[in-house]
Structure formats: C-alpha cells, structure tokens
Amino acid sequence: MIMKDLLRPYYLNINKIIYKGSGYYCNICNKSYRKFLPAGNDKRQNAKCPGCGSFERHRLLMYFLKEKTNFFNSNLNVLDVSPNKTMHNLFNQMNNIKYTSVDLMMSYVTQKVDLTQLPFDNETFDCIFCYHVLEHIQDDIKAISELYRVLKRNGWAIIQSPFDKSLNKTLQSEKIMTSEERKEVYGQEDHVRIYGKDFISRIESVGFDVKEDDYIHTFSKDDIIKFGLDKEEIINFCIKS
Ligand SMILES: [Zn+2]
C-alpha cells in the first residue's frame, strides 16, 4: 500500500502522456484525454481519470461546488472525511479554505481520528464532505451524529454512500462477518452494510435536512459521457438549520 502511494505520482504522470487526447475532459486536473479508465470491482466504464485518479463523484462534486455553493468565494472552515488524495491536495491549497481532513488510516490526512469520536468542538465547521465512508463504519448513526454536532448552524454537508435503490431497507446482518460474505452480500469486502432507500432517513434521523439534488440532470447525455459523470448520482445536500 505504501509502495503504491509512493509510485502513484509517477504512474499518473505517465498516464497523462499515454492517455493524452481529446473527447474526454476532467475538471479536477483540467485536462483532456482520449478516454477515462474503468474502475471498481464491477469495472464500470468511463470512471477514473487517468491523469489525476478522480472518479465520477469527484468531478460532479467539483461542478456542483462551483455552480451551486459558496465554496470558492467565501472563507470556510472545511472538514473532509477520508478524501481522495487529489481532492485533498486541491482543497488544501485553496486560500479561502481552512482545511481539515480526517481518517483512521490514510497517511496524508491532517488528523487521524475515529469518525464516531471527533476531537472537535460543537459547531466548528461551515462545510463537511463525507464521501463513501459510512458503509465502512459499524455505528454509522453515531458517525452521522458527530458530523451534525461539529457542523455550524446553517452549515452544509454532502454525505454520499453507495446504495442499492432496489432495497427499501438497508441490509446489515451480524451473521455476515467474513470478507468473502461481505463481498458477496454488500459488494465489497470492507463494507459492513448495503444502504437501501432509507439512507436519507438515516441521515435525517440525527437532525439534518436533506435535499436530494438531481443536479446531474442539468448535463446533456453527451456531456455526462465527455465529463465522465454518473448519470444516476444524486447529491445529498444536508443542512443543519
Ligand atoms: Zn483528472
């Protein structure tokens, strides 16, 4: 893992040359490519930027932040949970942002902490990102309530997790314990549940108001492909009012 981290910049720089071209554009590294790469266990197509390693959700977030939030023009205290390294580096160098990133394991975050026990005062942050984290955490409701606690009144959070829209109720069982069983039932060996349609009500249960924003529908079909976006991604914009 450490070797992979060390080699990552070289690998991405080589990719920038190999995949240089037109037809596909990444708004994170601001470059065009001849394709995006497949990613994930299911090898979903048109997903990963060859030059910066960003995924569909990162690129949609960037468009969303620019068009629909004050992220680039207000002074904000930002908490980013388990960020992708590219996003971490990008946000960390912004002058208007006081940036804190947290994770239990990642080497590059600013603080190694447990999301269910955040070492921050109540109402510390203006804005929080929590992308693809909660499905790894046993007590996800405690984690969400910690996010709510450290967010300022009128602050906002974006909380995303993979979910199965064919499930009405989140699937989690103490009988599913081994890596093999988790991979089989939850889709990934380090996931502890698969969220269903009740994901939003779990976020709301700690006090958040959640707006399910279908911002993705403002993009044309062609642009969704060109920008490497997920045509079904809904952004969970969570407000502490
Ligand atoms: Zn990129």
Q: What is the mean pLDDT of residues 147-158?
A: 98
Using the CB atoms, write b or e for 91-127: b if 16+ within 10 Å.
bbeeeebebbbbbeeeeebeeebebeebebeeebbbb
Beta bridge partners, 37, equal 48
Whether 13 and 89 share a structural domain: no
Whether 224 and 148 share a structural domain: yes
Whether 164 and 234 share a structural domain: yes
| Total domains, the chain | 2
CATH of the domain at 220: 3.40.50.150
In a domain, 71, yes or no: no
C-alpha distance from residue 116 to each of 15, 22, 26, 79 (Å): 37, 44, 34, 14
Token code pair at residue 23: 């037809």
Token code pair at residue 190: 């380090």
Find the 194 Cα to ligand 1 centroid distance in Å: 29
Whether 87 and 171 share a structural domain: yes
Whether 90 and 205 share a structural domain: yes
Token code pair at residue 12: 């991405």
Find the helix or strand (DSSP H, E) in which 232 lies.
none
First-to-last C-alpha distance (Å) of the chain:
41
Whether 106 and 214 share a structural domain: yes
Whether 226 and 122 share a structural domain: yes
In a domain, 113, yes or no: yes
Confidence category of residue 183, pLDDT binned at 50, 70, 90: confident
**Range of 20's domain?**
1-54
What is the per-residue pLDDT across 12-52, written as a single tens digit (0 to 9) for each? 888 888 888 899 999 999 999 999 999 988 899 999 999 99
Residue 127 pLDDT > 80: yes
Token code pair at residue 82: 């388990």
Residues by chain with Cβ below 5 Å of ion ligand 1: 26, 28-29, 49, 51-52, 54
Whether 97 and 149 share a structural domain: yes
Whether 180 and 91 share a structural domain: yes
Find the 234 Cα to ligand 1 centroid distance in Å: 21
Whether 115 and 199 share a structural domain: yes
Whether 45 and 87 share a structural domain: no
